[in-house]
């Protein structure tokens, strides 16, 4: 098959029904109008959005506890939104170096907003609506997210490359189970 310069450029088709490349007639002549490109929905997990609350007729307030502090929220507001409005910007600490973490994606795709809600660990509070009586606690920080004692590990990071514990803490052999328990406790999610 021989193609000449005047032949229209064809778009390759994907098995899913979409197109790859430019649509037909795109660039074949100066006055050509491109054909509409067919877009297909990508497969994969699609998280559901948090339902939007109607605040027009609601006048009540929702109160919950965050690390012993009472936080007031509007009905339907997420826990993270209420905390941000109340001036609480540090929600947790990073897993390895205990760096302060606050809201980042507000879509439930990052680990920054993981907190313990009513005794259930690792709840994404940017997606969880606030309710009266909730007990929310920060994670990976002691005694509080604003002042984490283990934040000193951030300064020692250059001495702790990836896998340092496998090379430096395995002798004597009988100590490894103790080191492992300690490391898992510090990491927060282990």
Report the top-level CATH class of 62-151: alpha beta
- List the chain pLDDT tens, one digit each, 190 residues: 565 555 555 545 555 555 555 555 455 555 555 555 554 555 555 555 555 555 545 568 999 999 999 999 999 999 999 999 999 998 888 777 777 888 898 888 888 888 999 999 999 999 999 999 999 998 877 777 777 777 777 777 777 777 776 677 777 889 888 888 887 777 666 4
Query: Can you give the residue ranges of every domain in the chain?
Result: 62-151, 160-187
> What 3 state SS string does the chain have?
CCCCCCCCCCCEECCCCCEECCCCCCCCCCCCCCCCCCCCCCCCCCCCCCCCCCCCCCCCCEEEEECCEEEEECCCCEHHHHHHHCCCCCCEECCCCCCEECCCCCCCCCCCCEEEECCEEEEECCCCECCCCCEEECCCCCECCCCEHHHHHHHCHHHCCCCHHHHHCCCCHHHHHHHHHHHHHHHCCC
What is the reported pLDDT for 125?
93
């Amino acid at each position: 098959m021989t193609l000449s310069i005047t032949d229209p450029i064809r778009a390759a088709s994907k098995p899913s029904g979409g197109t790859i490349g430019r649509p037909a007639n795109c660039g074949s002549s100066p006055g050509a109008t491109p054909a509409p490109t067919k877009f297909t929905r990508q497969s994969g997990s699609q998280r559901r959005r948090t339902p939007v609350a109607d605040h027009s007729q609601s006048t009540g307030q929702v109160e919950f506890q965050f690390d012993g502090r009472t936080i007031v929220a509007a009905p339907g507001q997420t826990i993270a939104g209420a905390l941000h409005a109340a001036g609480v910007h540090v929600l947790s600490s990073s897993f390895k170096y205990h760096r302060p973490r606050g809201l980042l994606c507000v879509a439930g795709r990052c680990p920054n907003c993981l907190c313990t809600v009513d005794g259930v660990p690792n709840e994404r509070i940017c997606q969880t609506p606030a309710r009266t009586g909730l007990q929310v606690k920060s994670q990976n920080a002691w005694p509080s997210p604003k002042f984490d004692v283990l934040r000193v590990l951030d300064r020692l990071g250059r001495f702790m490359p990836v896998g340092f514990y496998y090379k430096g803490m395995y002798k004597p052999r009988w100590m490894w189970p103790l080191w492992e328990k300690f490391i898992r406790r510090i990491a927060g999610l282990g």
